[in-house]
Each structure stands twice: as structure tokens, then as C-alpha cells.
Structure 1
Amino acid sequence: MTVNPELKAKMMKYRWAIFIVLAVAYFFVYFHRVSTTAMAPDIEEAFGIGAAATGLLASAYFYAYTAMQLPSGIFTDKWGPKRSATVFIIITAIGSLVCGLSTSYEMLIAGRVIIGVGVAVIYIPIMRVLALWFRKDEFASLSGILLMVGNVGAIAAATPLVLMTEALGWQNVFIILAVITFIIGLMCWVIVKDHPKDKGFPSIEEIESEETGKPIEESTSEKIPMVQSLKLTFGSGRKFWTLAIWFFFMYGSIMVYQGLQAGAYYTNVYDWDKGTWGILLTLVGVGMIIGCPLAGFISDKILHSRKKVLVLGTLVYTIIWAVIWLMSGKLDSLVAQGIINFCFGFFGGFFVVSYAQVKELYPVSIVGVSTAALNLFPFLGGAILQSISGYIVADKTPEQFQTLWMIMFICMVVATICAFLSMEKQKT
């Protein structure tokens, strides 16, 4: 197959414009996810609420985000990434505006829910763009870069957001975010295209076929009915469910530690102040910023395998959980704890290759549904395991934390078994 070299060159350049616009949008997915932490004191003062109400405000995002995972896949495959991402980025802007104009706690909760609904339909459209505009051996690497961008967004929602809130006020920050998000939505509508054919470019499968000399295996223009897509995904037995169970425990355990209990652990077991353990938790994010893209690169360019990288990362991550459990309350060295936290984020970030693994197991035309179906389980794991962890460490004693870490280790042993049993598409 002969591909017009001029059109190929234009396609290869244009796809980066699409990726950059969507990556910027994804930056704000993570930014919004953790933003309530920085704004919590001001919000509590403004509405006279306590920590429990602030916790509900933070969780409203996650419940909305989780509920929208399957719909996000359906929208993406049916409408295409351009329309899906644009509509829901605009919805995110509306939610941010509602938060900024809030005159009551209930209105703020409503705005937070709208934000959760909006940002839920950004990641899956990006996965479809990666599948339709980039080579197969670029997918995992770019997924890793995307997660790196997200984690930078999370870090930006810490100290920088605190400074912005102090300077401008939390409501003005939300209004500014609404304006920025709306502009990103307009850029998405103008720049993002569902398929290279929409710009008159050759498809990525045509380019790969010319480069490798192999015949085209499947068309990215193929359409599969939605009900059939869901049956293909959820009815595929070991192909899907080993990864789903693995992701439930993998990301759920990350959220238990990084997202909820690590700060309380360091405060109550080691009597360290917030500034000290805040640095330690930042190292988790730094580890992920490095680990996510590196895992994708290793998967694409070195091992040429998704499963091998998945198993390697899961094994080391599980060993780290064993160290956290067995050394609980016994390791008061900041250097040692810093190394543990960095490695926790670094190897935890290897989860990124699972998206490439599940994408390749199903027709590319249902990449939205298959990816969204998988993405449902990490957030479900986070919600359920975080709730359980609250009961286990109700009194925040050293013994309770050690019990929680032991349970997380057992969960990861199960996840490791699932990683070994998972399947990946055989290279031809």
C-alpha cells in the first residue's frame, strides 16, 4: 500500500496538536480531583461546615466520576472523541462556575458533582484518539505521558493552588478555572478530529501497513453496535476480569495510602507534622510522574509486552506493601520513608500499561467501551477500600494501621495472581 508522503507528514504533525489540547484538559482532571484539599479551610469558614461535610464535598467528584465511566465509553464510541470531549469539558466549566458562584454548601456540592460528571468524559476520548491517530507501539508511552501530566496537575493543586486561593479567594479561583476550561473546550472543538480521514489524511493502519509491509488487520473506521460492544467486553471471561480485579486492588490500595490514610498514619504513629509527611506524600506523586511514562516506554520500545511490565510493576509494588506492613511503626527514618514513598509511586505508576493491554485485546472500534469498562474498577476499588479502611483504623492506633497495611498486602497478593493470569495480544 502506497501512502502519500506529504499527507502522511501532515498527519504525523497534526496529531500532536490534538494530543496537546487533550493533555491540557487532562491536567485539569487531576487538578479538580484534589483541589478541595487546598481550599478546604476557606470553604469550611465560608459555610460554617466541618471536616465531614468537606469530605462529602471531595467524594462528590469521585462518585460522579465513577458513575460516568461506562457512559463515557458509550459516548466516545458513538459520538467520537471530538464531540464527547468538547461537550463534557464545557460541562466541567459550568460546574466550576457554579462552585465559584455558590452561595450555599448545597450549591457547592452540586457544582462539584457537575465537575465530576464533566471530567469523567475526558480520559476515554483521549484513549480513542491515541488508538486512532498513533501507532500501536506508541500507545503505552503516550498513556504514560498523559498520566504524568495528570500528576503534575495534582501537584499544581497543592501549594500553587493554596497561594492562588490566598491571593484571589477560593470562589474567584473557581471562576478563573471556569474561563480557562471553557477556552480549552473551544480549542477541543476546533482542533480535535475523530479520525485522520476527517482531515483527508491516511489512517494510522494504512501508515503502519506501509511501514511494516504487513497487511491491515482491522480498520479503525469499523463500527460495532453498543450492546455487542458491552457483551464483547464483559462477557470475555479471563481476558477482561483478571485485569478488572487486578485494577480494583491495585489502584484501590494506592488511594487508601496516598489518597486517605498515609497522613493520619504518619501523624498518629510517628507524630510527624503535616509539613513533614506532606513532603513524603509529594514523593509518591513524583514517583508516579517518572514511573508512568517510563513504564509505557519500556512496554512499547524495550520489552514489547504489556503483561511483562504489568507483572513486574505489580510484583515490586506488592513487595513495597510488605515492607510498609512489616515495618509499620518501626522505621522512623525520613530518608527511608522517602524512599518507600517514591518507590510506591514509581512502581504503582506501572498500572498505566493496563490500558494498552486491554485496548489490544478488543477491536479498536470499541476502544471507548473496553477502556471505560476497565477504568470503572480502579475508582470502584478506591471508593470501597477507602470506606473499609476508615472502619479498620477508627481509633488510629498503631496496631490498627498495621492491620490495614496487612490487608492491603493481601489484596495485592490477589492482584499479583490476577496479573500473572491476565492475557495480552500475541505479537505477529
Structure 2
Amino acid sequence: MRTAAFSRCVSYTLLVTAFFIGFFNRFAPATFAAPIGETLGLGAAALGGLAAMHFWVYTLMQVPAGLIVDRFGIRGPAAIGTLLTGIGALVLGMTGSYAVALSGPCLVGLGMSLVFVAMMKNNAIWFDGRRFGVVTGVTLLIGTFGSIMSEAPARLLLALTDWRTVFVALGLGTIAMACLILLFWRPPACAEGGRRPVRGTPHRSVWRDVAGSRQLWLVLLAISGTNGTFYAFAGLWGTSLLSDGYGLSGASASWILTLAWLPYGFGSLIFGHLSDWMQARKQLIWLSSLLNAAAWFWLLLVPGGGFAGGLMCFLALGLSSGAQVVVSFAAVKESVHEDLTGSAIAFVNMGVFLATAVVQTTYGWMVALGASDLAAAYRMALWLPAGLSLAGFAAALGVRETYPARPAA
């Protein structure tokens, strides 16, 4: 038992460290956009494409990543994914052209799709339903700290060194972490002295069981309405909305976006534990969607709140997104056979990042149409995230309760 507990701790620590690094990598290109653009001679459109590349690749790779992890296990895919993430950081840090720079976030998106599914599958096999929610909450909290580190703290690094050094050091450290995962990650059966478990093989009807599940589609729509819209603004449009749309200073807008990650991370932890303690998933999923929709419509319909109003709304968006994502992943785990956990979580997560990419692109197009009055355009385009969030709330009302686990036949 002591050996199993030690192996569980080591395995979790290795993967959650890679997860933390991945969250930093996800948002760092946007944070360092100005010096990257100056060095490579890039305009706003090119920088937007560079920041969005990760999300598009990550979205497209979610279902394949789930199938790979379910088929080949956790250690190999996690190590390869972490290695690709490190190589992507190195490529971006050493690039001399835009075409090569694009391959950096592309590799990071490819690698992190494997790391994410492996992390969630690790939690599913090492922790039972009574602790899955709180453990996943801790995982997302740690990942959130990676996002926070990529914001204001990362900007402070530019006073000490240049952006290339940051990405090269990040890449080398990530590659070292890939080696540690390959050497020291262990599954439960090996830690307990049993035989190595046969690698999971998804059921032949995986698409019928996953993509054909009404429950998973409802969860996907709910979480896309909360996390998909929040990521789109926390990762790209939030600062511009608050500064150009609501007249806040760039510094104030940046602090609001940084602070919004705190309730996201701590909300994941607190509500993951609360969901396990209440033995309930559905109520927290639809309540989170309701709070998220209310925050978007407040931003849309009640302008002029200044710093306090913007901070209140983005804190609510962060809290509702963090609270819902951990409970949603628990509901997904409890809705399918254990052999399909990786594929099911990846399928739902795909919806989140597809929504993020679509909102980022469409919101920019909507703002461009109203360029004659930029402030009004930023505010009116909020009908997009508000409408998507409301649709997510409607879907959340149809999600069935899953605790204790009652997967569909």
C-alpha cells in the first residue's frame, strides 16, 4: 500500500507539472506578442494567427489524443506529448521567420492534447469517484497558476531577459520533464505489485458510445458556453474589450484578466470538493452556466461599470468556468465505460477549444464590421459570447445526474 501511494504521488506530480508548463505555453505567445512582433516584424493579424494556432491544433487533436491514450496507455503518450511541447517552445524561441514561428504553437497544441488526456486518465485510474472531483480541481488549479504565470509575472521577466531566452529555457525544462515521465510514471497495478495491465483498447463502437451520447453532447454544449467564451476573452479579446470598449487603461484591463484566473483555479478546487461531498454533479453544472450567462449579459446590457464593474463580471466568468469544468469532467467520467474515459473527456474538451477558436475569430470579424465606432462595436459584439453562454445554460438543464456513476447502457 505504501508503494502504491508513493507511485501515485510521483505519477501525479510528474503529469501535473507537465500540465502546468502547458498552460504557461498556451498563453505565453499572447503575453509576449509585442516583443515577438517587433523581433519578427509581424503585424496584428499575424500575431493573432500565432496565438490562435495552438487552439486550432489542440481542438483538432482532442479526439485522436483520446483514442491514442485509451489504446496505448498513459506513459508513452504523456512523455511524447511533453516532448513535443518542449520542442515547440524551443522552435518558437529560436525562430527567425513567421512560418517557422507558427510551427512552435502548433507543436505545443499537438503535445498538450496528449498531456491533457493523459492527465485526466491518470486521475481516473488512480483516484476513485469520492476523490476524483477534488483531485481534478487541484489539477486545474495548478494549471491555472501556469496561466497566471504567463500573464503579469511573465511580463516582469522581460525586464531581466529577452523573450527568446524565456522560451528556450522553457523548452529545455519541458524536454527534461518528458524524460522523467518516461522513466518514473507507473500505473496502479504495477505499483501494487501486480502484473502490468493490458493496454486499454476502446470498444469498436467508440463513436457510437462517445459521439452518439446525448449526455456527452449536452455537457459539451454547457462547458463550451462557459469555458469556451471565457478562454476566448482571457486569452485574446478581454484586454481590448475592457480598454477599447469600456475605456479602462491597459494596465487596469490586464490586472482584471489576471485576477479572473484566481476564482477559476480556486473555484475548480472548491467546487470539485463540494461536488464530491454533495454527491451531485447536475446542480452545479447548471448553476455555473446560469452565473456565466448572467455575467455576459451584464457586460452587454449594463455598460459604464468602470473598473469595479469589469472586475466583478470577469471574476464571475472565471468562477463559473472553473466551477463547471471540474464537475463536468467528473460527470463525463461517470457517464461512460472506464475504457472510454480518455476519448469521452477529449471529445467534450474538443468542444471547449473549438468554441474558443470560433469565438476569437468571429468576435474579431464582428468588431471589424463596426470599425467606424470601435467602442460600440466591442460592446455590441458581446451578443456572441452572451448568446453562446445562454445556449450552454439551456443544454446544462438537460444533463442527467451521474453520481454515483450510472453510465448509459
TM-score, normalising length: structure 1: 0.88
- Tell whether 2:68 aligns with 1:75: yes
- The answer for unaligned runs of 5 or more in structure 1 is 1-7, 204-219
Counterparts of residues 145-224 of structure 1 (less than 5 Å): 145-193=138-186, 195-201=187-193, 223-224=200-201
Q: Is residue 221–residue 365 contact of structure 1 (8 Å, CA) maintained in 2?
A: no
SS class of match (1:425): coil
Counterparts of residues 35-46 of structure 1 (less than 5 Å): 35-46=28-39
Cα distance in 1 for residues equivalent to 2:54 and 2:33: 14
- 1:338 aligned partner: 311
Cα distance in 1 for residues equivalent to 2:200 and 2:68: 13
Q: CA deviation at 1:42?
A: 1.9
- Tell whether 2:366 aligns with 1:392: yes
Q: Is residue 65–residue 346 contact of structure 2 (8 Å, CA) maintained in 1?
A: yes
User: In the alignment, residue 232 of structure 1 is paired with which amino acid?
Assistant: D
Q: Is residue 242–residue 310 contact of structure 2 (8 Å, CA) maintained in 1?
A: no
Q: Is residue 77–residue 114 contact of structure 2 (8 Å, CA) maintained in 1?
A: yes
Cα distance in 2 for residues equivalent to 1:261 and 1:200: 48
Aligned counterpart in structure 1 of residue 321 of structure 2, from 348, 364, 372: 348
- The answer for unaligned runs of 5 or more in structure 2 is none
Counterparts of residues 286-297 of structure 1 (less than 5 Å): 286-297=262-273
Q: Is residue 298–residue 309 contact of structure 1 (8 Å, CA) maintained in 2?
A: no
Counterparts of residues 87-106 of structure 1 (less than 5 Å): 87-106=80-99
SS class of match (1:242): helix
Aligned counterpart in structure 2 of residue 364 of structure 1, from 318, 334, 338: 338
- Between the aligned residues of both structures, percent identity stands at 25
Could you list the structure 1 runs, at least 4 aligned residues long, displaced by more than 4 angstroms after superposition. Answer: 220-224
Distance 1:201 1:316, change over 3 A: farther
Q: CA deviation at 1:160?
A: 2.6
Q: CA deviation at 1:379?
A: 0.5
- 1:138 aligned partner: 131
Distance 1:106 1:306, change over 3 A: same
TM-score, normalising length: structure 2: 0.92
- Tell whether 2:83 aligns with 1:108: no
Q: CA deviation at 1:70?
A: 0.9
Cα distance in 2 for residues equivalent to 1:268 and 1:102: 32
Q: CA deviation at 1:125?
A: 0.5
- 1:210 aligned partner: none
- Tell whether 2:10 aligns with 1:17: yes
Distance 1:259 1:223, change over 3 A: closer
Distance 1:44 1:409, change over 3 A: closer
Q: CA deviation at 1:290?
A: 1.6
- The number of aligned residues is 400
Distance 1:362 1:96, change over 3 A: same
Q: Is residue 255–residue 382 contact of structure 1 (8 Å, CA) maintained in 2?
A: yes
Distance 1:268 1:40, change over 3 A: closer
- Structure number with greater Rg is 1
Q: CA deviation at 1:251?
A: 2.2
Cα distance in 1 for residues equivalent to 2:124 and 2:367: 43
- 1:318 aligned partner: 293
Q: Aligned Cα RMSD in Å? A: 2.0
- 1:425 aligned partner: 402
SS class of match (1:422): coil
